[in-house]
Amino acid sequence: MRKIQGAVTEEIATTLDDGDAAAGPAYRVESYRELVEQVARLAYLNKDHLLFFRGQDLDYRNKAGASTFYPTIYRGSYLRVFDVERRYARLEAASEVLREVFSDLSLEGSEDLCRREVIRWSVLQHYGVCDTPLLDLTHSLRVACSFALLENGGEAGYIYAFGLPYLKGRISVDSEHDLVNVRLLSIAPPGALRPYFQEGYLVGTTDIRTEYASKTELDLKNRLVAKFEIPNRRSFWGKDFSAIPWSALYPPDDRVAKLCEAIRAALPR
């Protein structure tokens, strides 16, 4: 994917390492309101990009010390072509099972899912069935913060803002930037509740499997505009806001979640 240089506020610029948001430390904010105000300024400064977010309990870094965001299928410090091919074979097997299940049960939304591989991959990634070349993001800052802090045993969480091309549809492919962005919350089957509550998007590179010149071109850090550190305490939300509870982010009556659990259990390791 094409690397961008996002515009940042003067405060955030002090944390950058030679203009690189991934290499420098996260910018600390103390409240959700402060975070929203910082993101509002970022959105204004980066008019050519649409901001998406990801929340994590840890700031995962590579050997060079930079934050890194590889899709699960490409994770690993020493990754052989054989390993990637084997992961793709497992993904294709899971994708075929998912297609058959939806077709046999005649579930609502099965026509789109059966016809489009990237939708099946998106569902498999979002429900954690197997490794995929897609990475989960959200358009909701509140969702990202909730993920960063829920079940977080540490003192802080991390929020990442990525600059992506503007959407051209439910499945948006940008060949100039080598990116595909799947708006899962408008294309997932209605029985898949989780993407709708999480305002889920899936992002990845286009037309690349093992034919990359360097694995770093698959790292979403190339689109990172800014990263924030938020305190893991109730005062972060203030009196006007609150985290989205686990039971809402992962609704228990999600039919697709149950189907995906069965597929994951049946897949060979």
Residues 6+ apart with CB under 8 A from 101: 259, 263
- Tell me, what DSSP letter sits at residue 26? P
Cα dist from 85 to 74, 100, 218, whole Å: 10, 23, 16
pLDDT in tens, 230-259: 999 999 999 999 999 999 999 998 999 999
Residue 74 has pLDDT above 90, yes or no: yes
pLDDT computed for residue 112 by the predictor: 87
Q: Helix, strand or coil for residue 206?
A: coil
Q: Helix, strand or coil for residue 38?
A: helix
- Say if 82 falls within a structural domain: yes
Reading the block at residue 156, the tokens are: 């802080």
Work out whether the CA dihedral 9, 13, 19, 24 comes out positive or negative. negative
Judging by beta carbons within 10 Å of its beta carbon (0-12, 13-18, 19+), is residue 152 exposed, middle or buried?
middle
- Say if 145 falls within a structural domain: yes
- Say if 143 falls within a structural domain: yes
Inter-axis angle of helices 32-45 and 141-149, to 10 degrees? 130
- Say if 5 falls within a structural domain: no
Pair 112, 124: CB distance under 8 Å: no
pLDDT in tens, 133-173: 999 999 999 999 999 999 999 999 999 999 999 998 999 99
Residue 97 has pLDDT above 90, yes or no: yes
Range of the domain at 245: 10-266
- Say if 1 falls within a structural domain: no
pLDDT computed for residue 266 by the predictor: 87
Strand-strand pairing, 224-231 and 27-28: parallel
Phi, psi angles (nearest 5°) of residue 222: -65, -20
- Say if 154 falls within a structural domain: yes
Total domains in the fold of the chain: 1
Instruction: Give the pLDDT band (50/70/90) at residue 79.
Output: confident
State mean pLDDT over 168-196. 89
Inter-axis angle of helices 117-126 and 81-105, to 10 degrees? 100
- Say if 109 falls within a structural domain: yes
Higher confidence at residue 16 or residue 245?
A: 245
Helical (H) or strand (E) element with 97: helix 81-105
- Say if 33 falls within a structural domain: yes
